[in-house]
Amino acid sequence: MERTADALLSALLAGNRRALARVISLVEDDAAEAPALLSALYAHTGRAHVIGITGAPGTGKSTLVNALARAYRAQGHTVGVIAVDPTSPFSGGALLGDRVRMRDLAGDPGIFIRSMATRGSLGGLARATADVISVLDAAGFARILVETVGVGQAEVDIASAAHTTVVVEAPGLGDEVQAIKAGVLEIADIFAVNKADREGADRTVLALQMMQGLAPATTGHHRAAGPPTPHARPQPGPQEDGSWLPPIQKTIALHGDGVDALREWIERHAAYLTATGGWARREATRAAAEIERILRDRLWEALLAGLPADCFAQTVAAVVRRETDPYTAATRLLTYAP
């Protein structure tokens, strides 16, 4: 590693914010010095609690992330925020409002906020996010909030980078709202039902409970014979068998309602992970996912680098002409000998 990179790393570890911003930019830009920097700072990671917060547009999760950051600051914890939420240059009032609210926190050295842009290609985003988490961890931030939008691959990738995943729902998002994705249910450690002052909040909570298999279906024809017994639903959190039942926390992020209770659930989840060995397992999952991402990219780059300049394009053209098919073409490229 060159001396400038060395100096940059020392400044980062000493808490210099400009060094932190510079290292993050190098990592985001996939700069030549990024791998060496990441290698060197990795020994200083492993102390942060990484919290993924995900949900569909309209759930108010940006506001919730801001409120949660403030709740953590009130407890004296340092907070890094990564907003993996690529919005167009033309974004409406809501996001702008969030950014304005964020300014409340801007003068505070105990918090660092970074938006991650995709720049058209989303391919390297999961890797870049994992790398920026490592940078903030090395810089000493105790809690790292990673905000992602949508219900797709990105969420699952982000979940593989988090210790605790909060899935944000909201009432009244339309008639598909009940169709909460199975994949999202599987990654949720905690549910936040935000905008809980809106009509339908209780229905959203009930729908989540039913998904958890903890409430009887009460729709029309199949109504249960009697009312559900209040003892039927176990307390959320750690269970006697060592598992974790995701709590469902109502919040009104805009007014701060329920946010501290949500923060406490996140802390309880970390304690549960530590007590049960789950923390070590999640660390292993995170590391395995990161190594796999690096290896997949390097293998692909090495294969392309070993092919003549137009070999891949010619193969694609042959597939388009149906002279060959993608599977046969892939086999030929794998065994290409000059």
Nearest residue to 262 via CA among 275, 251, 274: 251
- Residue 75 or residue 314: which is nearer to a copy of itself going by CB? 314
Nearer to a copy of itself, 70 or 282 (CB): 282
Residues 88-107 that bind a copy of itself (CB under 8 A): 88-95
Q: Please, is 177 exposed, middle or buried when counting C-beta atoms within 10 Å of its C-beta (0-12, 13-18, 19+)?
A: middle
With beta carbons less than 8 A apart as the criterion, state whether 6 and 38 touch: no
Q: What angle do CA 50, 55, 56 make, to 5 degrees?
A: 155
- Decide the pairing of beta strands 143-149 and 79-84: parallel
Residue 178 interacts with a copy of itself (CB under 8 A)?
Answer: yes
φ and ψ at 192, to 5 degrees? -110, 120
**Closer by beta carbon to a copy of itself, 18 or else 47:** 47
Of 110 and 183, nearer to a copy of itself (C-beta) is 183
Give CA angle at 113 (98, 116), nearest 5°. 90
DSSP 71: H
- Regarding 75 and contact with a copy of itself (CB under 8 A), the answer is no
Give Dmax (Cα) for the chain.
Answer: 75
> Rule CB under 8 A: which of 181-200 touch a copy of itself?
181-183, 185-186
Q: Which residue's CB is nearer to a copy of itself, number 75 or number 218?
A: 218
**Which residue from 122, 142, 261, 311 is in contact with a copy of itself, where contact means CB under 8 A?**
122
Q: Segment contacting a copy of itself (CB under 8 A): 9-17, 22-30, 68-76, 204-212?
A: 204-212
Of residues 140 through 159, those in contact with a copy of itself by CB under 8 A are 148-157
Q: Which of residues 32-61 bind a copy of itself (CB under 8 A)?
A: 35, 38-39, 42-43, 45-46, 56-60
Binder among 1, 31, 179, 271 for a copy of itself (CB under 8 A): 179
What's the closest the beta carbon of residue 241 comes to a copy of itself, in angstroms? 21
List, in order, residues 6 or more apart from 118 with CB less than 8 Å away.
86, 125
Among residue numbers 216 through 245, which ones bind a copy of itself (CB under 8 A)?
A: 219
Structure tokens at 195: 């905008």
